[in-house]
Amino acid sequence: MAQGPSSGRAVAVLKCMDDGSFELDIEALEEVLLAEHIWNIPVAVISVAGSFRRGKSFLLNFFIQYLRNQCRGDWLRKCNTSLDGFAWRGGSERETKGILLWSEVFVVTTSKGEKVAVVLMDTQGTFDGTTTMKGTGTIFALSTMLSSVQVYNLSQNIGEDDLQHLALFCDYGQVVKKDGSNNAFQTLLFLVRDWSFPYEFRYGAHGGRAYMEKRLEVCDEQPEELRNLRRDIRSSFEEIACFLMPHPGLKVATNPEFKGCLSDIDIDFKNHLEKLLAVVLHPVNLFPKKINNCIITCEKLLMYFKVYAESFKNGEASDPMSIREATGVANNTSALTDALQYYLSEMAKACADTPCAEHHLRKSHEEGFAAALRKFDAVLKLGGKEMEAAVQDKACAGDPSNIR
């Protein structure tokens, strides 16, 4: 289905090349993340990933409409409304390639009164018959590492192979934990579409939680590899949830003329969809992206995009230690940048009344620089003692320009 008229569009930020490598479109990323009204505020990245032709883009368009309607779900009951947003279509051929962001970034005020920029991410489906296992793994890994909520879009159940696809980031997550960080990733939401057993586990979040606990259960009968994978999944994410969705109806699934009209979608699906939208996007449930317990702004997200894309540039995942080192460089550089900005802000206040006496300038510099170093030291560093020592030497060189 072609995109309808709207104030946003899908922007390809990570493109799949013919040789299997990936290319990051920096200009496209900057267009989305450095917009004047959002570049310096915390960002929440909602990503949807999973097998191809399972309705990921279709789902994201409901996210767009929910955010446009100020996080209310009553628009779902308007029968003449049609979806627009990310391009999607029925059938067996893939639509999304690489990683796309929706250019319309939504600023939402959370229940704590804080503003968060909500970025929606669409990903190429896995196992599409044209992309290698390494390639699909790269897309899945990048979207998980960059998102605050990864919606793992699955069909009918949580299969053992679905859990195995999480193994790469779980390996990385265990490496990061050795640096002293709590969890490498934030929220993983298993979204099971077309759930056929509501008499065993009912639709929604509560039934989903019970079903997920059963699938992630560790028992003696399992091989050690499967037990370890389940433990690693739990310890790699701050929160893991599951939501069971009913089938949207035959008009959606089998009619090639379906164009997204809400009246063609089964009422049971729409009722549970409204609950799902609140679980993912309601201001009470929105939290900014964090890396190493530090809140990430849109501007910093751009930096992490660059760092992670470089680690995966050849179309295959780097080993967990290399990814951890790249994350450490970005994390520690971010801490230095924050310290510099704090120092410059303090000096600007001190020198507001010009001209400024030399002794006053020197005192302000010493106090501001010491405070900036304390701010820098308070941030947990990644990458091991060697990397931390190197970045500390740079910070303590005495000249604030060294922090750049």
Query: Between the ranges 74-83, 128-137, 241-250, where is the mean pLDDT highest?
Result: 241-250
Mean pLDDT of 374-398: 61
Summarised one tens digit per residue, pLDDT across range 143-174 is 888 999 999 999 999 999 889 888 766 776 66
pLDDT at 263: 74
Contact 384, 392 (CB under 8 A): no
- Span 199-215, pLDDT tens digits: 999 999 999 999 999 99
Structural domain ending residue among the three candidates 286, 316, 346: 316
pLDDT on residue 180: 57
Length of the chain: 404
Asked if the model's pLDDT at residue 397 lies above 50, the reply is yes
Same domain, 333 and 295: no
| Together in a domain, 125 and 148 | yes
- Among candidate residues 89, 68, 28, 76, the one with its CA nearest the CA of residue 252: 89
pLDDT of residue 13: 92
Q: Which two tokens stand for residue 74?
A: 């009553």
Q: Which of 158-167, 309-318, 322-331 shows the highest mean pLDDT?
A: 158-167
Interhelix angle 167-177/133-146, nearest 10 degrees: 40
* Domain contains 322: no
- How many domains are contained in the chain? 2
192 vs 261, residue with greater confidence: 192
The domain boundary, picked from 251, 284, 316, lies at: 316
pLDDT for 92: 40
- pLDDT reading at 193 higher than 90: yes
Does residue 323 lie within any of the structural domains?
Answer: no
117-126, 129-138, 235-244, 363-372 — which one is most confidently predicted on average?
Answer: 235-244
- Which residue(s) pair with 261 in the sheet? 82
Q: Which of 12-16, 58-62, 293-297, 352-356 has the lowest mean pLDDT?
A: 352-356
Claim to verify: residue 112 and residue 188 sit in the same structural domain = yes
Which of 316, 345, 370 is the endpoint of a domain? 316
* Residue 318 pLDDT: 59
Looking at residue 5, what is its pLDDT?
42
CATH number reported for the structural domain that contains residue 94 in this entry: 3.40.50.300
Q: 370 and 237 in one domain? A: no
**Separation CA 242–CA 177 (nearest Å):** 24
Q: Is the pLDDT of residue 317 over 60?
A: no
Dump pLDDT digits (tens) for 62-90. 999 899 988 887 788 776 666 666 765 44
Residue 156: inside a domain: yes
Per-residue pLDDT tens digits for 2-30:
334 457 888 999 887 777 678 889 999 99
Looking at residue 94, its pLDDT comes to: 44
Mean pLDDT of all residues belonging to the chain: 80
Q: Check residues 380 and 101 and name the one with the higher pLDDT.
A: 101
**What percentage of the chain exceeds 90 in pLDDT?**
35
Supply the DSSP string of 313-382, one letter for each residue.
TTSSPPPHHHHHHHHHHHHHHHHHHHHHHHHHHHHHHHTSSSS--HHHHHHHHHHHHHHHHHHHHTSPP-
Tell me if 122 sits within 8 A of 58, measured CB to CB.
Answer: no
pLDDT digits (tens, 9 = 90+) for 98-129: 899 999 999 999 988 999 999 999 987 555 54
The pLDDT value given to residue 115: 96
Do residues 225 and 283 both lie within one domain? yes
The pLDDT of residue 265:
86
Assess whether 130 and 40 both reside in one domain.
Answer: yes
| pLDDT value at residue 200 | 96
Residues 390 and 292 in one domain: no
Angle, vertex CA 357, rays to CA 352 and CA 360, nearest 5 = 80
pLDDT band at 260 (very low <50, low <70, confident <90, very high): low
59 inside domain: yes
Residue 379: pLDDT band with limits 50, 70, 90: low
Q: What percent of the chain has pLDDT over 70?
A: 74
39 assigned to some structural domain: yes
4 inside domain: no
Domain that holds residue 49: 10-316
60-64, 321-325, 397-401: least confidently modelled range? 397-401
In which band, very low, low, confident or very high, does the pLDDT at 58 lie, cut at 50, 70 and 90? confident
